[in-house]
Structure 1
Amino acid sequence: MLDHVFLSVADLPRAIAFYEKALLPLGIRHVLDYDGANGPAGHPDLKGFGRDGRVFFWLRPGRADGTAAHIGFVAHSIEEVDAFYAAAIAAGATDNGAPGARLHYDPRYYAAGVFDPDGYSLEAVFKSWQHPQA
């Protein structure tokens, strides 16, 4: 299990604005700004996003490499997946798979994918707790 992820972005203000809109349907909000000067030498400034009292997704200024990461966010319903996709596209993402079942991954898998402005692959995933009937 992961506790947190740092993502380097080329334009921090642009990335913050994008993620504030794209992640809102998943209940993930920009909740904390960390001043790197207060940490160990060389620690970057961070912009933290989280949900339910946990900050787990961090943006930092740096060299973006959209091919370096794919991030899947948990959605709590099909509707959240659909809303994430719509919000991300409206915020400037490009399509990487419209909302729908991804039965080749798992019979309970419903997801949508986008590329953020830096080219990172993002996905919202809902896995129902009901297994399909045999």
Structure 2
Amino acid sequence: MLDHIFLTVNDIDRSIAFYAKVLPILGVTNRLDYDGKDGPAGHPDLKGFGTNGRMFFWLRQGAAAPGTVHIGFVADSEAMVNEAHAAALVAGATEIHPPGPQLHYDPRYYAAQVRDPDGYSLEFVYKSWQHGS
């Protein structure tokens, strides 16, 4: 299981605004700005998102490399996939594929995929077999 991910973005303010509109739909409701000045790891000015007191999705300013990362976010229902997809488009994403069953994976795999403002591939995924349906 992953503990955290750093995503390097071209415009930190634009990315914070984008993810602040989309991630709460998926239950990622906490935000934290970390200046990194006291840490030995050299992570200045991280902008974090998380839930239940755990920050796991971090943005940092720099040169984006969108072809290198695909992120799949867990959704708790098909409705949540639909809502996250719609919010992402309104917030500036471009569509890769609309919400629907991903039959090439499994008929119970429901997802939508977009590119964030930096071009990173994001997928909102509901796997009904993981939710007892």
Which range, TM-score by smaller chain? over 0.9
Q: How many residues align?
A: 131
Q: Which residue does 2:12 correspond to in 1?
A: 12
Residue 89 (1) aligns with residue 89 (2): yes
Structure 1's unaligned 5+ residue stretches are: none
Q: Which residue does 1:40 correspond to in 2?
A: 40
CA–CA separation in structure 2 for the residues paired with 1:59 and 1:46: 6
Cα 1:41–1:100 shift into 2, 3 Å: closer
Identity %: 63
CA–CA separation in structure 2 for the residues paired with 1:28 and 1:99: 20
Letter in 2 for 1:62: G
TM-score normalised by structure 1 residue count = 0.92
Letter in 2 for 1:47: K
Contact 1:6 1:59 in 2 (8 A): yes
Contact 1:20 1:30 in 2 (8 A): no
* CA deviation profile, 1:26-60 (whole Å, cap 9, x unmatched): 11134211112121163221111112332110001
* CA deviation profile, 1:62-83 (whole Å, cap 9, x unmatched): 1101101000000011111000
SS in structure 2 at match of 1:96: strand
Contact 2:113 2:123 in 1 (8 A): yes
Letter in 1 for 2:76: H
- Structure 1's consecutive aligned runs of 4 or more residues displaced over 4 angstroms after TM superposition are none
TM-score normalised by structure 2 residue count = 0.92
Contact 1:21 1:91 in 2 (8 A): yes
